């Protein structure tokens, strides 16, 4: 049994930096984009709980093996399994080995990404995030400067930081504001 | 909305609320309770914290350039080459005006240091580094556990940087960034013209705007970088030159066959009483020697006696002309 603080640290230091790679793996092997957030969460829960029992000696192969097993379970649970999905799953062993090593991400790349992520935000939201995070103003100061309530500042922060973080960690940076309808039941759907 | 999305929203809401000024022990207890409800909550929170830290780390590096309004990149002008050549010989400070956008903010933990004309001050930073500010210099610094960042808004400063591999020491000067790899060095900024010289160790000078193709240069004692309007040039700087450039640290200006125009520029940086040259024919008069930076009157007497020029003290300025 590992100490929770240690597991938290391991999770942030070794697991989360793999997210861009992991999301690419999911996208390649799973048709339905709207499932990805749930798949990612389910995977993280499994990895974290397994980490509590004992940290793996090598994080990356462990994470991708867990990701593969998760997808296989999902396909088995789905009522209708397309032939294509089965073929993909066979190919997945190869896919895991082929997962390209992370390109060394420099501070410069990250800065560029932050800039793009900021540009993708709605103007008002971007302004709030920049005043708070980049110019270091307090919530109250931002509210005063923009003549809005502090709760409005908080709402912009919640929306903006979430979009920015998802973008920085390799997602699309778009946030669905409303449920997208009934697509979530097509576990292995075709376009 | 999926379950995971809802949890993600809660996690980011906690991150935002936690920064409220009135965050209390009972708020923390509420957060702890939420975290212990499920592993899904815990991992979502870890993920948000991880992303949050990354954004903040980048934001600390980016703050200078992001707050700039449309950086100026004037096309290359032939006469700027001539200026640089003059620079390599002595130091001529002819500036084109380009005002960078609002950087007037005072973030949390931002220290601001200012010297007046003629001022000279050494300030210690929290990390053990020292910054020595020359005359008429404006500088801001953020030093915390994550980063060491300095913005030279104008003027000149000499840095003695405490070695710390985990926190690079970064100096922003206009559209240039100097990343310190452990060293003593000098940065001078006059509007969009930046000069960097190294006394010890080495530094990297690069563009701030990461969307532009970057030129960067690593400089060591023996060379210097002059950057202006988006262009950058590496020139030679002998140890003697660096030494004389740093003479202001002892309160002196040192010249070696420097044109009167440049000498006047230098004195004018340190004194409210400005030297004005009335006659273009004398601007190329060569001056050598070392002078007290704040004693412009003594310099005026020298021009009169040794160079036979007319020096008139009128309305608080020194007017220099040829003898009738």
Domains of chain B: residue spans and CATH: 3-66 (no CATH), 78-243 (2.60.120.1440), 251-322 (3.55.50.30)
Q: Interface pTM (ipTM) of the complex?
A: 0.81
Query: Positive or negative, the Cα torsion across B246, B248, B251, B252?
Result: positive
Supply the pLDDT for residue B240.
Answer: 76
Supply the pLDDT for residue B274.
Answer: 92
Supply the pLDDT for residue A108.
Answer: 66
Supply the pLDDT for residue B19.
Answer: 82
In the predicted structure, residue A52 carries a pLDDT above the cut 90: yes
Interchain pair B55, A166: CB under 8 A? no
| Residues B67, B149 contacting (CB under 8 angstroms) | no
Q: What is the pLDDT of residues B167-220, one digit of tens each?
A: 888 898 887 888 886 678 888 888 778 888 888 777 888 777 666 655 677 777
Closest-CA residue in chain B for A12?
B50
Q: For chain A, give every domain's residue range.
A: 4-98, 107-168
Report the DSSP beta bridge partners of residue B289: B255
Interchain pair A136, B109: CB under 8 A? yes
Supply the pLDDT for residue B78.
Answer: 32
Interchain pair A114, B58: CB under 8 A? yes
Q: What is the pLDDT of residues A77-126, one digit of tens each?
A: 765 555 555 555 555 554 454 444 444 456 667 777 888 888 888 989 99
Beta strand segments in chain B, E: 110-114, 121-124, 130-133, 138-143, 148-160, 169-173, 176-180, 184-190, 193-200, 203-207, 216-219, 223-228, 231-236, 252-259, 275-277, 286-292, 309-314, 317-322
Compute the average pLDDT of residues A42-55: 94
| Contacting residues for B204 by C-beta, under 8 A, at least 6 apart | B178, B179, B181, B216, B217, B218, B219
Q: Which two tokens stand for residue A144?
A: 């005063």
Q: Which two tokens stand for residue B287?
A: 């001056």
Helices assigned H by DSSP within B179-228? none
Q: Lowest mean pLDDT: which of A24-33, A59-68, B1-10, B99-108? A: B99-108
Q: How many CB pairs under 8 A join A and B?
A: 129
Percentage of chain B lying above the pLDDT 70 cut: 80
Give the minimum alpha-carbon distance from B317 to chain A in angstroms, rounded to a whole number: 41
Query: How much is the mean pLDDT over chain A?
Result: 77
Interchain pair A40, B4: CB under 8 A? yes
Interchain pair B51, A139: CB under 8 A? no
| Alpha carbon distance B156, B290 (integer Å) | 19
Q: Which two tokens stand for residue B126?
A: 């929290």
Ranges of chain B whose pLDDT falls below 50 = 63-107
Q: Which residues of B touch A157 (CB under 8 A)?
A: 16
Supply the pLDDT for residue B173.
Answer: 86
Residue A63: C-alpha distances to residues A13, A70, B42 (Å): 13, 11, 18
The single-letter DSSP state of residue A134 is I
Q: Which two tokens stand for residue A87?
A: 């073929």
Closest-CA residue in chain B for A154?
B16
At residue B206, φ and ψ (nearest 5 deg) are -145, 170
Q: Which two tokens stand for residue B193?
A: 């013209």
Cα angle B116, A134, A148 (rounded to 5 degrees) comes to 105
A146 touches B at CB < 8 Å: no
Compute the average pLDDT of residues A33-51: 92
Domain A107-168 belongs to what topology? Arc Repressor Mutant, subunit A (1.10.10)
Tokens 């903010």 belong to B105
Supply the pLDDT for residue B230.
Answer: 65
Supply the pLDDT for residue B160.
Answer: 84
Q: Which residues of B touch A48 (CB under 8 A)?
A: 39, 42-43, 46
Cα radius of gyration (chain B): 25
Q: What is the pLDDT of residues A143-181, one digit of tens each?
A: 998 899 999 999 999 999 999 998 888 765 555 454 444
Cα angle B229, B232, B236 (rounded to 5 degrees) comes to 135
Q: Which residues of B touch A115 (CB under 8 A)?
A: 62, 66, 210-211
The upper half-sphere exposure of residue A167, i.e. CA atoms within 13 Å in the direction of its Cβ, equals: 22
A50 touches B at CB < 8 Å: no
Supply the pLDDT for residue A172.
Answer: 56
């Amino acid at each position: 049994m590992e100490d929770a603080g240690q597991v938290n640290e391991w999770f942030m230091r070794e697991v989360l930096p793999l997210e861009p790679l992991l999301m690419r793996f999911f996208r390649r092997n799973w048709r339905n984009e709207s499932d990805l957030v749930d798949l990612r969460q389910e995977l993280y829960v499994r990895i974290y709980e397994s980490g509590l029992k004992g940290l793996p000696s090598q994080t990356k192969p462990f994470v991708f093996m867990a990701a593969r097993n998760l997808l296989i379970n999902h396909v088995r649970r789905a009522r209708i399994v397309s032939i294509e999905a089965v073929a993909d799953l066979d190919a997945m062993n190869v896919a895991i080995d082929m997962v390209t090593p992370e390109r060394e991400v420099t501070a410069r790349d990250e800065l560029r990404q932050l800039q793009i992520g900021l540009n993708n935000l709605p103007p008002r939201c971007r302004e709030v995030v920049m005043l708070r995070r980049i110019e270091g103003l307090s919530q109250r100061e931002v509210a005063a400067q923009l003549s809005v309530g502090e709760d409005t500042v908080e709402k912009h922060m919640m929306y903006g930081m979430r979009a920015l973080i998802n973008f920085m960690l390799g997602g699309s940076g778009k946030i669905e504001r409303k449920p997208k309808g009934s697509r979530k039941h097509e576990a292995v759907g075709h376009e | 909305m999926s379950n995971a999305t809802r949890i993600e929203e809660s996690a980011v809401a906690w991150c935002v609320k936690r920064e409220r000024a009135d965050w209390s022990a009972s708020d923390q207890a509420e957060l702890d309770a939420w975290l212990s409800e499920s592993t899904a909550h815990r991992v979502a929170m870890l993920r948000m914290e991880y992303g949050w830290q990354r954004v903040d780390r980048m934001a600390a590096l980016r703050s200078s350039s992001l707050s700039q309004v449309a950086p100026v990149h004037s096309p290359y002008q032939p006469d700027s080459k001539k200026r640089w050549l003059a620079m390599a010989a002595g130091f001529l400070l002819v500036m084109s005006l380009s005002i960078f956008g609002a950087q007037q903010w005072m973030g949390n933990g931002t220290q601001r240091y200012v010297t007046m004309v003629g001022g000279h001050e050494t300030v210690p930073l929290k990390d053990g580094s020292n910054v020595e500010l020359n005359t008429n210099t404006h500088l801001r610094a953020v030093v915390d556990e994550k980063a060491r960042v300095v913005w030279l808004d104008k003027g000149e400063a000499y840095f003695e940087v405490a070695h710390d591999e985990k926190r690079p020491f970064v100096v922003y000067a206009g559209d240039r960034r100097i990343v310190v790899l452990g060293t003593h060095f000098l940065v001078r900024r006059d509007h969009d013209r930046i000069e960097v010289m190294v006394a010890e160790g080495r530094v990297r000078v690069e563009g701030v705007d990461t969307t532009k193709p970057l030129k960067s240069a690593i400089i060591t004692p023996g060379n210097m970088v002059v950057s202006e309007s988006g262009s950058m040039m590496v020139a030679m700087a002998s140890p003697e030159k660096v030494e004389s450039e740093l003479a202001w640290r002892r309160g002196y200006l040192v010249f070696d066959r420097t044109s009167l125009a440049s000498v006047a520029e230098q004195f004018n940086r340190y004194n409210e009483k400005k030297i004005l040259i009335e006659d273009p024919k004398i601007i190329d008069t060569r001056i050598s020697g070392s002078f007290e930076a704040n004693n412009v009157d003594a310099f005026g007497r020298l021009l009169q006696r040794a160079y036979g020029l007319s020096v008139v003290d009128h309305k608080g300025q020194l007017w220099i002309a040829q003898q009738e």
